[in-house]
Structure formats: C-alpha cells, structure tokens
Structure 1
Amino acid sequence: MADDQSSNDTEIISFASSEISLPRVTRFWMLLLFDVSSTICALFVLFCVLINHKLRSTVNNHALIVLLFLGLSLQLIDVPFYLNFIIHSSVTPSNGWICLLWWLVDIGMYNGGTIILAWIAFERHIIVFYDQLISTRKKRILIHYLPMLFLILYSFAYYIYATYYFPCENIYDYTLPFCNGSPCYLSDPIMGIWNFIINSALPSFLEAFFSLSFLFRVFWKKYHSHLPMQWRKQRKMTIQLMSLSSLNMAVTFPIGVIGVAHLCGLPQDVGVQVNQYFFFFSYFVIFLIPFICLASISGVNRKFQEKILCRRQRQVQRFTATVKPEHFKSNITMQH
C-alpha cells in the first residue's frame, strides 16, 4: 500500500510538472476560439497572396508564406490533438504514431517557424539596404531562394530523422499532453543540445539582433542620411518585422533564458511551471501571426477591407435606409 501511495505521489508530481494549472476547460475554449479564427485568417491571407501575381512574386512575402504554412500545420494538427486530449483526458487513440506526429509538428514545425523568423529578420536588411543583391533572377536564386529552401529542407530533415529514425527508445505517457512532450532524442547529449542551441536559442537570438539592428538602421537612414528613401514602404516593413519579432520573442526569450540556466547548473525542477505556461502561450504566437500578415501586407489588407468591411458597411447602410425612424414613429402613433 505504501508503494502504491508512493507511486501515486510520483504520478501527481509528474503531472503537475508536465501540465499547467490553468483548467482544461479554459484551455479548451481559448485554443478552440483562437484556432478557428486564426486558421480562417491564415487561409484568407494565403488565398489572397497566392492568386495575386504581384503579391505572389514579391520577395518579402515568400518567407511569410512559408511561415503561414508552418503555422497551419500546428493549427490543423497540433491544436486538434490538444483539444482531443482535453476532451478524452488522454491521448486518443493511444498509439505511438500519434505521439510521434504530435512531437514532429509541435516541436519541429514550431522551431522551423522560429528559424524562418530569424531569416525574415536577416533578409529585411538585404531587401531594404542591399537590394542590388537581388536585382536579377540569378541573384535572387542565390541570395533569396536557395538559403530559404535550405532552411526549410534542414528543418524537415532534422526533425523527421530525430523523431522517427534516431536510435533511441521513446516512452509514451498517454495521460499527459504531448504524450509527456519529451521525445527521446532530446535526452541525447548531442541531439538535445543541438536542438536547443541551433534550432531554438540561436535563431531567437539572431531574430532579436537582426530586428533591432534593422530598426536602428531604418531610423538612422531616415534622420541622418541625405540619400532618398521610400519611407512609407520601409515603415510598413519595419512595423511588420517588429510585430512578428516582438510577439515571438515575448515567448521564446524566457524559454531560452530558463533553458540556458538549466544548462549552466540550475536544478531542472526550478522554473518548470513557468516554462509550461510559456510553452502553452506559444500557441498564441501561431494564432496571431496570420492577423499580423493580414494587417501588414498591403494587397491583402486592401482586399479584406473591400470584401469584408465594405460589404458589412453596405449591409448596415441598406438596413438603415430600409428601416427609417419615421416608420417607428408612425407605428407608435397607430398603437396609441
């Protein structure tokens, strides 16, 4: 009986350290409402960009398209898995392939998005300050397309290998979110450190560095350079970049700090609950990115205003014109 009690206590501690204290019902509705609206927004943005040749061929939109597709993989696979877990209080169906797919999307696609965000921050310097490097088709292939293609292929290749083929034994706990959220390759001294430093911490640091340096260079050029500058275009690009970076860094920076502290000797049980909250709220980074793209891509924003907002305004105006105040007055008079 004592052994059973000890086992139960261990399970409770394990559960507490692997799932945030926010009630599951609250998490369910938060994720569901944001996921549905964000998915619709992401599909709308992608539709507008992909059917419009000008938007589709604009260099600074390409990485955003990749980012939105990576986000959709989390919105259409990761989040539904989490909602299904909340409904059944376990991973259902309880199969290892579900856990592997969940890990691949949750860890791999999210970190892939972080890598792409770092590339976006770096590429903005090229687009604004060194546009001659992408002035021809050959230069665009070398400077723009090939690096981005390499980052995409690297992200998929690394996480597919690490998740499905790395020689280690996974332990699945179907009673916890993400099947305990710890694929075995993260415990490997090489793969685990590589994943944290190269795929997570370094891209986050580079994203912050390139974003802040881009902001500094834009303002420096505006106020201290006598060269002509398309300020309106640069302002939109700056706001877009800073919105994306600030949103992502608000979550990834604390996670990175805690991770580095653990590598430097901080006990593993310190900051676990805080880390779990940041991991949960990282979903909202994915949810909000489509809305930032909607607001910052001019052609998409214009189409949204024309198709959605103007249509709604016309409906309101039509209703107002149909139901006039004097109608109410005459009805009231007749009733009296």
Structure 2
Amino acid sequence: MADDATESLRWTKYVVLQSTIVPSLLCDIYVFIYFIRHWQKEIVKSPQHHVIICMLIISFLQKTTDAPLLLFYLRWGENFQQTYTFCAAWNWLDCTLTGCAIQLAAWFCIERHLFIFHSQLMKKKWCSILFHYIPLFVYCIYLPIFYAVVIFFPRQCTNIWDYSVVFCGGACYNYSDPFLPTFDWLFHYALSLLIILFANLLLFYRVIYQKLRQLRPIDWHRQRRMIIQLLFISTTFIILQSPSIVIGVIEALWSPTFAFDIQYNYFAYLYYFINQLLPFVIIGSLPNMRKEIQQWFQRIKRRLDEQPRIYPGRPIA
C-alpha cells in the first residue's frame, strides 16, 4: 500500500507540473520576444528591468533543464541517469537555480527602493555601476561557484548517491558537514526571504510617510509600475517559498527530521511553481505588455466579426 501511495503521489505531481510547464514556457517566449522588440525602451533605457530579465532567464533555464529531469523521475520512478557525474551535476543545477532565484528576488526588492525613492541618484553613472551592475553580477556568479565547490569538491565527506530517490538523495555536505547546511539555509534562503518581507513592509511605510510628510499623494503615474512589479513578484516568492525555507531552517538549527515527509513530498516542489508563475506575474506587472496582449485579442475579435457569416436558408412554403 505504501508503494501504491508513493506512486500515486508521484503521478499527481507529474501531471500538475507537466500541465503547467508548457503554458509557462510559451509565456516565457512571449516575454523574451517583447523585450527584444522593445530593446531600447525596456532594457537600454530601463535598467530596473535588468534583474527581472535575469530572473526570467533563471526561470527559463529551470524549466528547460532541471524540471525535465524531475519530471522523468516522477513519471518513471528512477533518475534519468544513474552515474556519479549526473547526480552531482543535477544537484549543482538545482541548488544553483533555486538559490539564484530567491537571491535575485531579494536584490530586486532592495534595488526597487533605490529606483523608486532615489531615482535621480541612480541615473548617475557611478551609482549605477556600484548599486546596480556590480551587485547583479555578484548575485549571478556567487552561488554557482559556491555550490560547485561544496558539491563537486567536498572536503569533509564523500558523495554517495542513492539512484532510487529524487536528486539521488542530495549532496553529502547536507548530512555530514556541521556548518555548511546551516550556513546555506540561513544565509542563502532565510536571509533572502527576510529581505523580501522587510523590503515590502518598508515600501508601505515609506509610501505612507512620504504622503503624510508632503501632504499630497506620491506621483503614482511615474512610480506605479515599479511598485506593482515589486509587490507582484515578491508576493509570489513569499507565499510559495516561505514553507520550505521555514522548515529548512528548523531542520538545520534544531531538528533534522522536523516535518521531513512534508518538506520532502510537498514543500520542496513549491519552488517549481514560482518559475511556472513568474512570466505571468511579469506580464501582469507590465502595463505596456498587457496593453499589447489586449490589442492582439481585439484584432482577433474584429477579424472574426468581419468574416461573412452564412445562415441557413428558410424552407419555401
């Protein structure tokens, strides 16, 4: 019965993930095309979109590399390949994409405050380099290097992979090293989640404070889009990433077996839905993109209405 229940759960997760990944990929492609078509306006002249594009690239890579390997396991109950190299590479890929996604989301929240409340300062070249390009570069290269070191070249343990479970059971540093797992969960995940939470609370405080201090509403027409993007994207990460991170921190600090089954069977998969939803959230937070989609639907509707309609003739008495 336990095996039947496990197989049923795997099949359910497979169907849900498989049914959502294709629409999300199509949406990714549309967003990429939109940014390419409006390169000057949305990228060159809008540096606040750079981190969004990086997050979208991470999401796309996860759906085209990591997710298919997971779907294969959920469908067949075994890993795509049963070799040391494959297991190490898959763990590195999954950890890198998951960590980069939430850390970019955290930096996205910090950077939004700079662009919203210090927009004139961010137009200066030295500020743009120091507070925009350098942090973005560091966030994109730090975790790939970190996980490459701890997974491919572990110092205090040896990776022993279990080919019968997802991700081959995980890298050995998660179980043998007394420091790295705690550092990983607290610094890379819990801290990032706290930054996202704090940045949103601070946003509400600063908006209300500025409104009361100036005795007039903020220029929403100029800043509304960036605030909406911040709220949409950060809310997605907070809702779907919080359960896994909270349990992971408890396991790292106090009880390694705390809610292990729930974490392993359910919460660990919520991250994939962040990637599935992210392109839709980006579209919802970009007014120009929404208008373009609405115009497409209106054109399609007009063309359908303009087509001649044939009605059945009435019988002659």
TM-score normalized with structure 2 length: 0.89
Root mean square deviation, CA, Å: 2.4
Structure 2 equivalent of residue 60 of structure 1:
48
Structure 2 equivalent of residue 41 of structure 1:
27
CA 1:143/1:316 → structure 2, altered by over 3 Å: closer, same or farther? same
CA 1:28/1:311 → structure 2, altered by over 3 Å: closer, same or farther? farther
CA 1:296/1:172 → structure 2, altered by over 3 Å: closer, same or farther? same
Which residues of structure 2 form unaligned runs of 5+?
none
Q: Name which of 54, 57, 68 aligns with 1:80.
A: 68
Give the letter for the 1:250 counterpart.
I
CA 1:49/1:20 → structure 2, altered by over 3 Å: closer, same or farther? farther
Shifted more, 241-250 versus 196-205: the winner is 241-250
Structure 1 equivalent of residue 201 of structure 2:
212
CA 1:335/1:249 → structure 2, altered by over 3 Å: closer, same or farther? farther
SS of 2:315's equivalent in the other structure is: helix
Q: Output the CA distance in 1 between the equivalents of 2:89 and 2:111.
A: 31
CA 1:246/1:118 → structure 2, altered by over 3 Å: closer, same or farther? same
Structure 1 residues 1-336: aligned runs within 5 Å? 23-52=9-38, 53-57=40-44, 58-167=46-155, 168-180=157-169, 182-187=170-175, 188-226=177-215, 229-266=218-255, 268-276=256-264, 277-307=266-296, 309-318=297-306, 321-323=307-309, 327-328=311-312, 330=313, 333-334=314-315
Q: Output the CA distance in 1 between the equivalents of 2:69 and 2:92.
A: 12
Give the letter for the 1:119 counterpart.
W
Contact 2:103/2:189, CA 8 A, preserved across alignment: yes
Contact 2:185/2:252, CA 8 A, preserved across alignment: no
Q: Output the CA distance in 2 between the equivalents of 1:25 and 1:55.
A: 41
CA 1:209/1:20 → structure 2, altered by over 3 Å: closer, same or farther? farther
Contact 1:73/1:105, CA 8 A, preserved across alignment: no
Larger radius of gyration between Structure 1 and Structure 2 = 1
TM-score normalized with structure 1 length: 0.84
Contact 2:250/2:258, CA 8 A, preserved across alignment: no
Higher RCO (CA 8 Å, separation ≥ 6 residues): 1
Q: Output the CA distance in 1 between the equivalents of 2:226 and 2:73.
A: 39
Q: Output the CA distance in 2 between the equivalents of 1:117 and 1:64.
A: 9
Equivalent residues, number: 311
Instruction: List structure 1 runs of 4+ shifted beyond 4 angstroms.
Output: 19-22
Give the letter for the 2:31 counterpart.
V
